[in-house]
Copies of this chain bind each other. A is one copy, B any other.
């Protein structure tokens, strides 16, 4: 007798057809997608179990080990995937604003950041609270995000907007504030709405700008 029912097939009756010959790598993506779905639904890192992911992907737990050395590797894969998505969202937001509107571009970036955190609590928590991400050497996964915001503030300064803090410092202030706001919202430490959070971050940007900047 097996020690447990692990297959999603036993639940949803859709017994997955295996990938064609030579396409085994596809399962790697399927696993990451399933993990992403799981953490979206359950919302916390401890909901991420190898067996749970296997269940969600409709495969046997053992199958995961053909694509990831262990659970840590799997979580790291998910993290990388998530950071790519967030960076892309912030970039897209930046580009959706007329290039000349330097302040608008900062706001757009940070709004995209907040939206991501609000719409994907599980992912966000995994990215910013997990200790799995610490890689020791090289840049941290959130560095590109910060760099983007720093550049946006540098454009502001270059365009003649007076800042009350140097560009890099301003970026970190806003970034840290946005994180604090989203994190507290996750802890449901308050009953703020998504719009209020965006508003908060807008105010933060205003704070960093001198009173009659631009």
- Tell me the A residues contacting B by CB distance below 8 Å: 44, 46, 125, 128-131, 133-134, 140, 142, 164-165, 169, 172-173, 175-181, 183-184, 186-190, 200, 203-204, 207-208, 211
Contacts and interface: CB of A to CB of B under 8 A. Distances in A.
Q: A interface, by DSSP: helix, strand, loop or mixed?
A: helix
A197 to B, nearest CB: 10
Given A173-B207, A180-B181, A187 B130 contact: yes
Given A129-B183, A183-B183, A140 B189 contact: yes
Contacts of A129: 125, 129, 183, 186-187
A140 B164 CA distance: 34
A172 B197 CA distance: 12
Nearest to A197: B176
B173 A176 contact: no
